[in-house]
Amino acid sequence: MNEKKILYFDCISGISGDMTIGALLDLGIDKNFLIKELKKLDITGYDISIKKGQKNSITGTDFKVILENNHRHTHHHNHNSSNHTHSHHNQEHNHNNHSNSKENNHDQNKSDSANHVHRNLNNIKNLINKSKLNNNVKNLSKSIFKKIAMSEAKIHDKPISEVHFHEVGAIDSIIDIVGTAICIDYLNVDKIYFSPLHVGTGFVNSAHGKIPVPAPATLDILKNVPVFSTGIRSELVTPTGAAIAKTLADDFIYNKNFKISKIGYGIGDKDLDITNMLRVYTAKKKSSNNELILLETNIDDMNPEIYSYLIPKLLKNKALDVYTTNIMMKKNRPAIKLSILTKNNNQKKIENILFAETTTLGIRKTKLTRKILKRKKIKFESSYGTVTLKIAYKNDKILKFSPEYEECKKIAHNTDTSLQKIYKNIIREGNDFLKNKN
Domain-wise residue ranges, the chain: 2-286, 291-369, 374-437
Question: How far is the C-alpha of 16 from the C-alpha of 88, rounded, in Å?
Answer: 12
For residue 225, pLDDT beyond 50: yes
Tell me the per-residue pLDDT of 366-419, one tens digit each, with 9 for 90 and over: 989 888 888 899 999 999 999 999 999 988 889 999 999 999 999 999 999 999
What are the residues whose beta carbons fall under 8 Å from the beta carbon of 271, sequence distance 6 or more?
none
pLDDT tens, residue by residue, 233-249:
999 999 999 999 999 99
Give yes or no for residue 94 having a pLDDT over 50. Answer: no
Average pLDDT for 423-437: 90
Question: What is the dihedral sign for C-alpha 104, 106, 110, 113?
Answer: positive
pLDDT, residue 320, reads: 95
> For 272-331, how does the pLDDT look when each residue is reduced to its tens digit (9 = 90+)?
989 999 999 999 987 666 789 999 999 999 999 999 999 999 999 999 999 999 999 988
Q: What is the CATH number of domain 374-437?
A: 3.10.20
Are 200 and 13 spatial neighbours (Cβ–Cβ below 8 Å)? no
The percent of residues in the chain predicted with pLDDT above 90, rounded, is 68
- Predicted structure pTM score: 0.63
Nearest to 199 by CA among 14, 9, 20: 14
At residue 21 the predicted structure's pLDDT band, cuts being 50, 70 and 90, is very high
Q: Residue 167 has what pLDDT?
A: 47
Position 282 scores a pLDDT of 96
SS3 287: strand
pLDDT in tens, 132-147: 999 999 999 999 999 9
pLDDT of 75 reads 41
Report the distance separating Cα 166 and Cα 117, nearest Å: 7
Confidence of residue 102 (pLDDT cuts 50, 70, 90): very low
Rounded CA-CA distance 45/181 in Å is 21
Beta partners for residue 380, in sequence order: 387
Find out whether 233 and 10 touch, Cβ atoms under 8 Å. Answer: no
Mean pLDDT for all residues in the chain: 86
Summarised one tens digit per residue, pLDDT across range 59-86 is 999 999 998 765 444 443 333 333 333 3
> What is the model's pLDDT at position 19?
97
Does domain 291-369 sit in CATH 3.30.70.1380?
A: yes
Per-residue pLDDT band at 438 (split at 50, 70, 90): low
**Is a pLDDT exceeding 70 seen at residue 2?**
no
Contact present, 173 and 243 (Cβ < 8 Å): no
